[in-house]
Copies of this chain bind each other. A is one copy, B any other.
Amino acid sequence: MDGNALPVRRRLDPEERREQILNAAVAWFAEVGFAGTTRDLARRAGVTQALLYKYFASKADLTEAVFERVYLGRLDPQWLYDIRDRGKPIQGRLTRFYRQYTGAIFTYEWMRIFMWAGLAGDALNRRYLGHVADRLLAPLAEEIGAAHGGQQPAMEDMWNLHGGIVYIGIRRFIYHLPTPDDPAAAIEAAIARFLGGLPGAA
């Protein structure tokens, strides 16, 4: 049957093995949360439970590595430059940003690990959202204000726009409810409504 299958490499490069375990940990903790057992994780990763502790000092150490993997490099600094490019209309900039943003965070692993961590009270979570507020939502509000003649939305309004869009991912990945395969149209409509409904909008 599997006579032509590649021989199972029993001894892997440490880096490769660590990567394999870490990937399995991300998928596993995303599914069941950080209360998941190391034995089930090891089974899922295809290694023995003891081996986990050759690559990670403790379960806490492993979960920290999962956090790093999931959070690091998720936000692209380029987005801020595109947001501030006043040569383009504000609606297009908003749409472009949220297409990129949701493209980065609308994954099973990210949405769920972010929510597990939020419920657990992780500080990284708040720091991340503080970053979103200061470096993304606040500039967006500024740009909207500039485009609408000085009438700048309050941060609470920006959170409302943000939440309405992010909620698509929550419905899909947390609640497992049906959502559009491609959320682009819904996001575009939400942004158009937001801008069109601002006080003083044409």
Contacts and interface: CB of A to CB of B under 8 A. Distances in A.
A174 B119 contact: yes
Contact of A159 (B112, B119, B126, B171): B171
B163 A171 contact: yes
A81 interface: no
Interface string A148-159: 000000001101
Interface residues of A, number: 42
A198 to B, nearest CB: 6
Contacts of A161: 164
A163 B159 contact: no
Interface stretch (A13-21, A43-51, A186-194): A186-194
A174 B35 contact: no
Interface stretch (A4-12, A68-76, A175-183): A175-183
A170 interface: yes
Interface string A126-153: 1001000000000000000000000000
B163 A170 contact: yes
A201 B196 contact: yes
A140 B163 CA distance: 20
A121 interface: yes
B33 A177 contact: no
Nearest to A196: B197
A201 B193 CA distance: 10
